[in-house]
Structure 1
Amino acid sequence: MMALRRDGEMDLQDMQDIAKARVLVFSDGRTGAQNRSLGVAEMLGIKDPEIVTMKPKYSSKLLRMLPVSWLYEDYGRIARDVRNYDVLITSGYQISRVVRALKKADPRLFTVALMRPAGSAKDFDVVAVEQHDRYPAADNVVVTLGAPNRITREKLQLEADRWRKRLSHVRGSKVAVLVGGTSKRARFEVEDARNLIRELSKLFKENGAGLLVTTSRRTGKDVTEALESTLKSSGLEYFMWSPDEGGRDNPYLAYLALADAVVVTADSVSMVSEAASAGKPVYLWGDEKAQPRKLRDYYTALMKQGRVRWWNGKFTLRPPAAGLMDTMMVAGFVRAKWQKRCAG
């Protein structure tokens, strides 16, 4: 874990700079969770961190509690490969079981778990959780309001410049519409998609605003098609992107950079956090009562800061003075713990 100079002596400065460590990101394949890990890694100064994606062989919750060496086909190989790394970062309960097991087998590893992990905080070097998770306090736990993410001013400016011409047909004010999908406790179906676009189109026809629409992997083909067909018949200027389009360039960051406001389906903490991190007024679309308590708690906390409100047919929020800085907060905490460990 400790960097050496050519003469074999330990270079203290390199040792304490986590940006020079060998970092591996563990992902379960979910975009929102993976972006949490990548956002923290990038904020630490780690360029193009390596990613290993692991999915359990079984979907049953009961079977998922099997030892990770049985549950993941590549576990043995990965357990050998991590000897070449210093820092492991992951997001999500199930995949954190892998990192916890690797840490137990090799205490030399410095491990960072984002979101509520398996086990307890003492199983990791750093645990970063959101306020609404109500996670027990500990010396190695950092609590944020929203989810860490990859949003930075530099990325937003770069993507705005790259996409400005391609989105120039959407004139006037622009509203980004970020669509998630059906969750365990709330549904977003075809008629919901149609109602969303119809309501926005009625409002925007009067002032000439346009829509920048994106779906997610959870949206579903039927809902995506309903969104697009309703947009085509709305008479609005718009641009729509979907993950189903394969290699087509993704304008998501450009949307967040160029939009005057953002409407987000209320099922996604990740998308709400990203929009709030971009410093945009955020409007939540959905049934407030249908959301789980922890999501309602999160949105209430953002409302108290004047960052979000439930959609009521009016754009009344002012842009906040600055976006959320949760990623920077987590990265600073991780860096401090790393330096303390190296110094010890």
Structure 2
Amino acid sequence: MEVGAGPLSIRVVTDGRAGIENQALGLAEAVARLTPATIDVRRVQWRPAFDWLPVALKAPGMLDASSNLSLPKHGEPWPDLWIAAGRASLPLSLAARKRSGGRTFVVQVQDPRMDPDRFDQVVAPAHDGLTGPNVVSVTGSPHRITAEALGEAGPAFAALLGPLPRPRVAALIGGRSRVFDLTADHAVVLANRIAGAVEGAGGSLMLTFSRRTPEAAERVMRDRLCGIPGLIWDGEGANPLFAILHFADHILVTEDSANMAAEAASTGKPVHILPMVALRPPGKFARLHADLRERGASRPFDGRLETWTYEPLAETARAARAVLQAMTQT
């Protein structure tokens, strides 16, 4: 496939969930930073009657009317590059590769839980252990955070975050999953440790919660931390995450999210990992955090705001280079 003859047309396909879409879109944007490209974002949902079907039995005609994706018909142009993420996208990625007849290079982000050879390329977290000649393993997952993006986000929140006393501490709080939980009792422990570190340093706190944060745990943490100078985002208005990371001197991240950890480690700022309540052996999460520690990006949070330096992770850019290289070889 020839790359560089004109703008590369990239189609991003997900179910629209922010954590999933940011991975595929982040990879697409990284490709577009390397070569002229246009990015077309599509979101898909399956009709409830068909959503339970296995991947092999789903067909594009089963998509819900809310989906804004249809595969090109005979004679219509196909995108040069298809980047998809999430289980909902899998049947469409397989169909795109088959029906495009090689005109579209299909990249699946995350472990598809099927033979990776069914795609042109798979970009998967190294901690999932997926291997193969067309698999690009990355630490964490692709994302949209770059130094330039953080810098561009800063001015909109400069009046709010810029005057905060230093050290400015970002806290990214996750929540309940199959592997971890954040109980109200544990939230008290985390809030007290965070408060002790920030108040002891005379700094400020910039706190965000995820959609998975249990209501009781969020309420406990808000009540304990609301008196500290800073910002506790209420979920309303523009998301301040990029600006928070831009202004932060330290970043605290709960151990339950590979996405948040990878994003934090891309800043080059000290990343302190907050423990959660383990519901089962942490498995791949333990492997991810061991990788981040080996790279010098993160350390377990022990109540102190230590400062250290490391080379910021640039895994999304590395994956983008691998995609373009593979496209030129097809």
If the length of structure 1 is used for normalisation, what is the TM-score?
A: 0.84
Pairing of 1:1-344 with structure 2 (within 5 A): 15-17=2-4, 20-45=7-32, 49-58=39-48, 63-65=53-55, 67-69=57-59, 71-73=62-64, 78-80=70-72, 83-107=77-101, 108-138=103-133, 140-232=134-226, 235-243=227-235, 245=236, 248-287=237-276, 290=280, 292-320=282-310, 322-341=311-330
Contact kept? 2:14, 2:44, Cα under 8 Å: yes
Deviates more, 1:310-319 or 1:124-133: 310-319
The answer to whether the 8 Å contact 1:18/1:335 transfers is no
The answer to whether the 8 Å contact 1:97/1:118 transfers is no
Shift of 1:241: 1.5
Q: Aligned letter for 2:229?
A: E
Q: Which deviations, in whole Å up to 9, do the C-alpha atoms of 1:237-256 show, x marking residues without a partner?
A: 0202243x2xx121111111
Q: Report the CA distance between 1:48 and its aligned residue.
A: 6.6
AA of the residue aligned to 1:179: I
Q: Hey, what's the Cα distance between the residues in 2 that align with 1:337 and 1:119?
A: 20
In the TM superposition, structure 1's runs of 4+ consecutive aligned residues that sit over 4 Å from their partners are 58-62, 74-77, 81-84, 288-291
Deviation at 1:59, TM superposition (A): 9.8
Aligned residues: 321
Query: Contact (CA 8 Å) 1:180, 1:218: kept in 2 or not?
Result: yes
Assess if the C-alpha contact under 8 Å between 1:36 and 1:91 holds in 2: yes
Q: Kindly provide the amino acid, as one letter, of the partner of residue 228 in structure 1.
A: R
Q: Measure, in 2, the Cα distance between the counterparts of 1:174 and 1:181.
A: 23
Give me the whole-angstrom Cα distance separating, in 1, the residues matched to 2:239 and 2:5.
Answer: 30
Structure 1 pair 65–160 and aligned structure 2 pair: CA distance change class (3 A): same
3-state SS, counterpart of residue 306 of structure 1: coil
The corresponding residue for 1:11 is none
**Structure 1 unaligned residues grouped into runs of 5+:** 3-14
Q: Which runs of 5+ in 2 are unaligned?
A: none
- SS of equivalent to 1:171: coil
1:80 maps to a residue whose letter is: P
Q: CA deviation digits over 1:258-317, x for unaligned, max 9?
A: 111111111110000000011121111124855520110110111112211222212335
What's the TM-score, normalizing by structure 2? 0.87
Q: Any idea what SS the aligned residue of 2:11 has?
A: strand
Q: Please give the alpha-carbon distance, in whole angstroms, between the structure 2 residues aligned to 1:253 and 1:149.
A: 12
Amino acid at match of 1:181: G
Partners of 1:337 and 1:78 in 2: how far apart?
A: 26
Root mean square deviation, CA, Å: 2.7
CA contact (8 A) 1:18 1:338 kept: no
Change in CA separation of 1:146 and 1:76 when aligned onto 2, cut-off 3 Å: closer
